Structure 1
Amino acid sequence: MNTQHFDPKQFRQALGAFTTGVTIVTTRGADGQDYGLTANSFNSVSIDPPMVLWSINKNSSSARAFTEGSHFAVHILATDQEPLSNRFAKSAADKFSGLDLQRGTRDIPLLDGCSARFQCKTTYQYEGGDHIILVGEVLAFDRFDKAPLVFHSGGYRRLLPVAADNNLWQQPDAVASAR
């Protein structure tokens, strides 16, 4: 198949059929400035050793800070953090202005109010087309009892539990009769 004939807009829409979590990734640049951006490319890699990955567009204004930096933090956003996601999704002079920050390993900025957050040491970087894939070893993490913000088909969503009577996988007789 020749992928050069893909319509980028249609390809992006097809990718949008996959629901993802919403994260903000932060780092402290060599220049002493804080950098952060909204990303939905986050994924787990390994439990032992604990590793995660995410990717950044090579043309991002903060790409250099992340690729040259040794540490980063991934914040899995909670449902009430949509405004924060939007703030970090845009180019701005100081995305951190007015935020109450904590500091993690190597002084990386840590945001409050998330569902979970991971402090990582960058261990690998890979070329990935127009992105760079960063793999980090998790040095510390926090988990909070908050529902995550998710992204699907170009918009934010919230998770709802599946009603027990609609879950065919937990009702063996219903599964058998559906075959």
Structure 2
Amino acid sequence: MTHWPTGVAVVTTADRDGWWWGFTASAVSEVSARPPLVSVCVDRDAHCRSVFTAADAYAVHVLRAGQEELADRFTRDSANDFEGLPVSWGFEDVPLLDDVAVRLECRSVRSMPAGDHVILLGEVVRARTGPHEPLVYLEQGFRRLARPDTLPRAS
């Protein structure tokens, strides 16, 4: 699936002790419009998988073009992923990242194993969009969308 372009998202939650957790995901998808449902896939071996499968809520932050460093930050198994980031609190006290292309606050509906991943299904309870172009992931690298006026004209 490396030839399939996807958006890049950071998914965040807080555990029962108040610790913040996050991971970078490229497998995020709309499931339903009514009710608004999204799916997020987390690797079964991810250090945070058990936290997210037990969470009551989480937030999906679609990153904007230029946030490659933020995407990389949340691919590491690090306790200080949030260090120095402006964070606010959302639904069920989930940590929210500012200045992203799209932010979805979700109530956890269920999780289910699927091969080497676990699918998290969430109901969107709040959504915010911004004016930014999204960051894109393709062939194991970050990309930006081309503006329509820069594309070659069809002959």
Quickly name the TM-score band, shorter chain normalised: over 0.9
Residues 1-38 of structure 1: per-residue CA shift (max 9 Å, x gap): xxxxxxxxxxxxxx110000000000001121000010
1:142-153 correspondence runs (5 A): 142-153=128-139
In 2, Cα distance between the equivalents of 1:34 and 1:93? 8
AA paired with 1:63? R
The secondary structure found in structure 2 opposite 1:165 is coil
Q: 1:59 pairs with 34, 38, 45, which one?
A: 45
Distance 2:8 2:134 in 1: 8
Deviates more, 1:90-99 or 1:19-28: 90-99
Following the alignment from structure 1 to structure 2, what is the Cα–Cα distance between the partners of residues 58 and 156?
24
Which 4+ residue blocks in structure 1 deviate beyond 2 angstroms? Answer: 161-166
SS of 1:117 mapped into structure 2 = strand
Gaps of 5+ in 1: 1-14, 167-173, 175-179
| Larger helix percent | 1
The answer for unaligned runs of 5 or more in structure 2 is none
Deviations 1:118-163 (A, max 9, x none): 0000112111011110110000000000000000001000001344
**Pair 1:49-2:35 in alignment:** yes
Report which structure shows greater RCO (CA 8 Å, sep ≥6): 2
Larger radius of gyration, structure 1 or 2? 1
Q: Secondary structure at the match of 1:124?
A: strand
Q: Which amino acid aligns with 1:120?
A: C
Please give the alpha-carbon distance, in whole angstroms, between the structure 2 residues aligned to 1:93 and 1:116: 25
CA distance in 2, matches of 1:100, 1:143: 18
CA distance in 2, matches of 1:139, 1:60: 26
Instruction: Give me the TM-score of the superposition, normalised by structure 2.
Output: 0.95
Q: Which moved more, 1:88-97 or 1:64-73?
A: 88-97
**Hey, what does 2:145 align to over in structure 1?**
159
Give the 3-state SS of the residue equivalent to 1:96 in structure 2.
coil
Query: How big is the shift at 1:164?
Result: 7.7
- Of the structure 1 ranges 145-154 and 120-129, higher mean CA displacement relative to structure 2 is found in 120-129
Q: Which SS does the other structure have where 1:59 is aligned?
A: coil
RMSD of equivalent CA atoms: 1.3
Percent of counterpart pairs with the same letter? 35
Which residue among 48, 70, 73 is the counterpart of 1:84? 70
